[in-house]
Amino acid sequence: MRALPCLLAVTIVFAACSDAITGPSSDTPSVQAATDDVAIPALTVMTRNMYVGTDVDRAIATTDPNQLPFVVGELWELLLANDFSERAAAMAREIAENRPQVVGLQEVSLFRSQTPADFQLNAQTVEIDFLGTLLAELAALGQHYEVAALVENTDVELPRLNADFSLTDVRLTDYDALLVRADVESSAAAAANYQASVPGPYGLDIKRGWTAVDLTLGGRTFRVVNTHLEPVETAGGSFQARQAAELLDLLSSERRPTVLLGDLNTEADVGATYQLLVNEGFLDAWQLRKGRPEPGLTCCHSTDLSSDAIALVKRIDHVLLRNFEALWPPSGPGPVHSTIVGDDSSEKTVSGLWPSDHAGVVAESVLPAPGF
């Protein structure tokens, strides 16, 4: 994986900040109640597909190299219109309001450019840095988060036609990342790509990956795994199935409480991969939630994020739990609170953009008091 000094530098500065926002949002009930003056801890996690900001599928589908610069130029205009600086501020507020110990991020994009174009994979001028911008917005809110694990997925460079008819190479590098709150003990970070990758045009392999980390909270250690599986529409779901099989093999010997989260691209309750994960012992945190029944839809707003329409029609972003039984009372699962963020017009940016084309999921599992 290539080093990203521009991203890591933000994390180093981060350590000097102090928390300015405390407590979860009203949608995620506080569980810092006390029993005999002993606080009851909770594990709070969040998954957030950040949305690359433009219709990359259209570029992938353009097989005529003569048309490609025109298409990339149009996609670049959409990317700029879907202003990431505004969107990052909105996502930082979501994190600050809920204060999860760990955040799983997908479609963490880094855009770089080079003029004139030379049609090589070597552009270095940073144009838009999703991870660095989000960390800076969190720091401005006084929130301490650090990059615990990062995996580089697809790295592609394509020509863009400019208004003066010159060409600029635009490089998009896709990552998945795990952020851990700085006051939480973490270790054993790991990351890798799946062996199953989709062959694309121009010799491109569309790679997916996973990131993982151990969290220690209240004297207990949890394994948290974040991933972004291939959409089920690709090759009839065969690549998603192969990636899911790799993931389950990775977790086959894990006996500790495990959280699997991310944009799994499999629909509850009917997706084949969703059903496979449930059959392998994963419990859906959304189905365990307390409160009134809600569909919890997470996908997908229009590619143009200025649309007023709420177009969420399916639930494909998940927080799944396994091996939590020892932490719950004999009567069944302990209190689990889940909420959706980014699905209400009140959460749009100052200029009226949705933070992402996906909604995010926050899940909070109450843990037994120390000594339970």
Per-residue pLDDT, 10: 28
Per-residue pLDDT, 35: 34
Low-confidence ranges of the chain (pLDDT < 70): 1-40, 369-372
Q: Is residue 349 part of a domain?
A: yes
Q: Is residue 372 part of a domain?
A: no
The helix/strand/coil state of 154 is strand
**In terms of residue numbers, what domain contains 182?**
42-366
Q: Is residue 4 part of a domain?
A: no
Q: Is residue 120 part of a domain?
A: yes
Q: Is residue 84 part of a domain?
A: yes
Q: What is the largest CA-CA distance in the chain?
A: 72
Q: Is residue 28 part of a domain?
A: no
Q: Establish whether the linkage from the previous residue to 299 is cis, with ω within 30° of 0.
A: no
Q: Is residue 164 part of a domain?
A: yes
In Å, how far are 176, 234, 310, 314, 361 from 297, measured between CA atoms? Answer: 22, 21, 10, 5, 10
Per-residue pLDDT, 25: 36
CATH number at residue 286: 3.60.10.10
Edge-to-edge strand ranges of the sheet holding 209-217: 185-193, 209-217, 220-228, 258-263, 317-322, 283-284
The helix/strand/coil state of 249 is helix
Q: Is residue 35 part of a domain?
A: no
Amino acid at 57: D
Q: Establish whether the linkage from the previous residue to 357 is cis, with ω within 30° of 0.
A: no
Per-residue pLDDT, 333: 76
Indicate the number of domains in the chain.
Answer: 1
